[in-house]
């Protein structure tokens, strides 16, 4: 696969989460190298050294060639994708890689910044041998060996790795082929942060090697404007009684879906109107992701209309997530607002008290034994789960048997017996 045909990436809001869209089936010769670059082939070599089963590797490559790997999400130390196998429901494949410590990054970045050619190569999406050698001289192993990769999959196959993880590995080699920053993200740092830091260190390194520039005298702005007459600002326009409707969007080739934009513009107008009339932002404190989930959750629940699907695509694209992540978060928001989303995304250790009394209460009500982990109680068979929120309420979750794929279900309750009864009902 050539680099020009690499899958498009959507960076996350903090540059530490990148999602690459699924690519179609590969039409090249199956015997051709899966990666063009030497660092992409090094990744494939690490995978082949990791596996003791050539048959699983061969089936994984067939899956990758056949377009069975869905969107790939890369975060520090982790690569995740759903892989379509022989069953209708896809499997969740995951590959973990050790991240660098802060001291490792300092050592590596200092060594790279001292060589301007390394920075130029990275800007050209290249990873020269000399950069890897420079890292190796400081004791930093940039490319993984077999022992650095830790695979996991929701399928019943206990192979190490199974064919689904092998397919994900081959697909990851394609991503590395087109962008070496994907490997650096796996090691713990995003592209913008790395380029900013390398630019700063490179400038400092250059400054140490050249004579100091003469100091240019300056004048403070308040001194320069002292005694000058500045006319008063005009009075603000009156606030309209209503936010008003969104504009009409022209039909332009390649433009985003106007239905999703219409909903976003309407929401932004209502928020701006509230700020003008009250002086306070009603949604202050929400992160970009929380606000996106809130907007998506405001759509009607009776089926996915064309407008809703367009909105989901826009919001998923803007936050660097996929539509499945967004749909799961919307279910959590409708279950409990921002607190419900917190329960979905973060496990925590509750203090002694209501959480400890939940299991005896469930047993007294005739329910089977639930297994605790942090703020979660999971029932036998792994299909029902209760999560204890910071608001003291129990949130019900459900997953298919044997799948670690939990979705919010039912309304939360301060009583674990009531929450579980609603979940089972």
pLDDT at 5: 44
Task: Enter the tokens of residue 15.
Answer: 């540059």
CA–CA separation, 351 and 281 (whole Å): 34
| Residue 383: exposure state from Cβ atoms within 10 A (0-12, 13-18, ≥19) | middle
- Who has greater pLDDT, 51 or 275? 275
Q: What is the pTM (predicted TM-score) of this model? A: 0.47
User: Residue 175 region, left (φ>0) first, then alpha (ψ -120 to 50), else beta?
Assistant: alpha
CA–CA separation, 258 and 364 (whole Å): 55
Per the DSSP assignment, residues forming a β-bridge with 394 are 388, 413
Please provide the average confidence, as pLDDT, over all residues in the chain.
Answer: 81
Given a contact cutoff of 8 angstroms between Cβ atoms, the answer to whether 18 and 185 are in contact is yes
Q: How would residue 36 be classed by pLDDT, with cut points 50, 70 and 90? A: confident
Smallest Cα–Cα separation from 162: which of 75, 67, 94? 94
Smallest Cα–Cα separation from 260: which of 228, 291, 202, 299? 299
- Tens digit of pLDDT for each residue in 383-392? 999 999 999 9
Residues 6+ apart with CB under 8 A from 387: 343, 375, 376, 377, 394, 395, 397
CA–CA separation, 260 and 263 (whole Å): 5
Q: Please say if the pLDDT value at position 1 is more than 60.
A: no
Task: Enter the tokens of residue 288.
Answer: 């970009």
pLDDT at 195: 83
pLDDT at 266: 80
Give the pairing type, strands 78-83 and 69-75.
antiparallel
CA–CA separation, 379 and 371 (whole Å): 6
């Amino acid at each position: 696969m050539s680099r020009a045909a690499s899958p498009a990436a959507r960076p996350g809001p903090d540059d530490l989460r990148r999602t690459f869209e699924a690519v179609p089936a590969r039409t090249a010769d199956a015997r051709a190298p899966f990666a063009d670059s030497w660092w992409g082939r090094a990744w494939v070599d690490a995978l082949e050294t990791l596996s003791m089963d050539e048959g699983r590797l061969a089936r994984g490559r067939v899956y990758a060639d056949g377009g069975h790997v869905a969107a790939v999400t890369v975060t520090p130390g982790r690569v995740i994708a759903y892989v379509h196998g022989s069953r209708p429901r896809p499997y969740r494949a995951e590959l973990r890689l050790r991240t660098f410590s802060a001291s490792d990054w300092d050592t590596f970045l200092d060594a790279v910044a001292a060589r301007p050619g390394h920075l130029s190569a990275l800007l050209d999406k290249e990873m020269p041998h000399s950069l890897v050698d420079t890292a190796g001289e400081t004791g930093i192993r940039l490319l993984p060996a077999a022992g650095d990769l830790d695979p996991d999959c929701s399928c019943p196959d206990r192979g190490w790795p199974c064919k689904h993880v092998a397919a994900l590995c081959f697909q990851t080699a394609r991503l590395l082929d087109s962008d070496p920053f994907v490997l650096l993200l796996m090691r713990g740092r995003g592209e913008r942060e790395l380029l900013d830091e390398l630019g700063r260190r490179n400038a400092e390194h250059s400054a140490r090697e050249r004579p100091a520039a003469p100091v240019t005298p300056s004048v403070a702005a308040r001194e320069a404007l002292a005694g000058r007459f500045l006319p008063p600002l005009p009075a603000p326009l009156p606030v309209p009684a209503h936010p008003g409707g969104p504009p009409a969007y022209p039909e332009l080739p390649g433009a985003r879906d106007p239905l999703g934009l219409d909903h976003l513009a309407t929401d932004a107008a209502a928020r701006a109107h509230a700020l003008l009339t009250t002086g306070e932002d009603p949604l202050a404190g929400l992160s970009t992701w929380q606000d996106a989930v809130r907007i998506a959750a405001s759509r009607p629940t009776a089926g996915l209309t064309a407008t809703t699907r367009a909105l989901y695509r826009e919001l998923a694209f803007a936050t660097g997530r996929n539509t499945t992540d967004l749909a799961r978060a919307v279910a959590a928001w409708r279950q409990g607002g921002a607190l419900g989303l917190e329960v979905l995304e973060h496990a925590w250790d509750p203090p002694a008290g209501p959480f400890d009394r939940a299991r005896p209460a469930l047993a007294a009500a005739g329910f089977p034994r639930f297994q605790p982990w942090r703020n979660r109680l999971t029932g036998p068979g792994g299909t029902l789960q209760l999560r204890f929120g910071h608001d003291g309420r129990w949130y019900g979750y459900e997953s298919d048997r044997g799948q670690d794929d939990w979705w919010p279900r039912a309304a939360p309750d301060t009583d674990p017996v009531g929450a579980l009864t609603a979940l089972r009902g």
